[in-house]
Amino acid sequence: MRAVVQCVSEARVTVEGREVGAIGKGFAILLGVGHGDTEAEAERLWRKIAKLRVFDDAEGKTNLSLADVGGEVLVVSQFTLYANCKKGNRPSFTEAGDPAIANRLYEYFADLARADGFKVATGEFGAMMDVALVNHGPFTLWLDTDAL
């Protein structure tokens, strides 16, 4: 699995002009599922993200976790994180996971965050979405379970 994690002061996702999810301070997570990913990858990725100490403490050092700041989570499915641009100019998405499995793991990932007590909003899997956010810092991380 792959995730782009952005520290945000706010974020929202709309589908056809209808807001389907919004958060205040926390993480906006773009989540991609690849071939062979399972619940184990979702769990490992969420545990890493939940423990990241990337929010400023009283001295302005990135020393606080999502829980420490009472943060919220917006999870948006993003199969394009598995784009392969090696040949030509049109990306190939054959490395992205099967949509049915990806949707199940996307929902599972969001449920892991909910189970840890976080307010979680999501996009709509497979929909054309507009994501708006205010990246705080800016602070953006790219995580891949193959490298964790």
The answer for residues whose C-beta is within 8 angstroms of residue 20's C-beta and 6 or more apart is: 13, 14, 121, 122, 123, 124, 129
Q: Which of 79, 109, 122, 145 is catalytic?
A: 79
- 3-class DSSP assignment, residue 55: strand
Strand ranges for the chain from DSSP E: 2-15, 18-23, 26-32, 55-56, 62-64, 72-77, 120-122, 130-144
Has 6 been annotated as catalytic?
no
Which entry of 6, 78, 122, 145 is annotated as an active-site residue?
78
Active site amino acids = 78-80
